Amino acid sequence: MTSNQNDSNRRRESGIDYKDVEYLSRFIGPQGQILSRRRSGFTAQRQKELKQAIKRARHLALMSFVG
C-alpha cells in the first residue's frame, strides 16, 4: 500500500472531517462545484458525507463557495 492509500483507508474508518480543508479541496472542481461520485470514486454514503462536510466547511467560512 502506498501512503496515499493508507491515508484514504484511515479516512474511510474515521469519516470525513469538515475541518480538514486541504483534503476536502481535492474534491472541488475549478468552478467551486463538488465533484461527482464518478470523479471522486466514493460510494453513495461517502459522497453524502463529503457533500455535508464541504457544505459545513463553507458555512463556517473555512472554504470559499467559488473556486
CATH number at residue 49: 4.10.640.10
Residues 47-59, mean pLDDT to the nearest whole number: 97
Q: What is the pLDDT of residues 7-39, one digit of tens each?
A: 555 555 679 999 999 999 999 999 999 999 999
Judge whether 12 and 50 are in contact, CB under 8 Å: no
Residue 3: pLDDT over 90: no
Q: Is residue 39 part of a domain?
A: yes
Measured distance CA(48)–CA(67) in Å, rounded = 20
Q: Is residue 30 part of a domain?
A: yes
The count of domains in the chain is 1
The C-alpha cell that represents 32 in the structure block: 467551486
Q: Is residue 3 part of a domain?
A: no
Q: Is residue 46 part of a domain?
A: yes
Measured distance CA(7)–CA(5) in Å, rounded = 5
Look over the chain and give the mean of its residue pLDDT values, rounded to a whole number.
88
Q: Which pTM was predicted?
A: 0.79
Residues 53-65, mean pLDDT to the nearest whole number: 96
- pLDDT confidence bin for 52, thresholds 50/70/90: very high
Find the domain containing 48 and state its range: 16-67
Amino acid at 48: K
Judge whether 28 and 21 are in contact, CB under 8 Å: no
Dump strand ranges (E) for 1-67.
Answer: none
